């Protein structure tokens, strides 16, 4: 099942609005990709074998705090503006 929702990350000058999708990433049990609406930011995070969330890909530069911000929004769906679920059968 694929999930998509709106998310907002804190930039140096303003908030960065985007969309988060669940993705399949080899070697990781969970992974998500954030793409900003304006196309300037891409961030891919995944849960490692120790259960920690890490950045595994994305655009440069990036703020390390974005991983924590994104995980907070993943773990608290009520903070998301929109949640859409897709069944890929």
Give me the chain's average pLDDT, please: 87
pLDDT at 51 > cutoff 50: yes
Give the confidence band of 34 by pLDDT, cuts at 50, 70, 90: very high
Are 40 and 59 spatial neighbours (Cβ–Cβ below 8 Å)? yes
* Contacts (Cβ under 8 Å, ≥6 apart) of 58: 34, 41, 42, 43, 44
Q: According to the model, what pLDDT value does residue 62 have?
A: 86
* Contacts (Cβ under 8 Å, ≥6 apart) of 85: 1, 2, 3, 4
Q: What is the domain partition of the chain in residue ranges?
A: 2-81
Q: According to the model, what pLDDT value does residue 8 have?
A: 95
Q: According to the model, what pLDDT value does residue 89 have?
A: 45
Give the confidence band of 50 by pLDDT, cuts at 50, 70, 90: very high
């Amino acid at each position: 099942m694929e999930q998509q929702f709106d998310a907002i990350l804190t930039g140096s000058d303003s908030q960065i609005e985007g969309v988060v999708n669940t993705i399949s990433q080899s070697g990781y049990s969970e992974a998500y990709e954030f793409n900003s609406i304006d196309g300037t930011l891409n961030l891919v995070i995944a849960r490692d074998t120790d259960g920690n969330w890490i950045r595994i890909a994305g655009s440069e530069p990036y703020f390390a705090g974005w991983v924590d911000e994104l995980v907070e929004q993943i773990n608290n769906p009520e903070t998301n503006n929109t949640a859409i679920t897709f069944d890929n059968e």
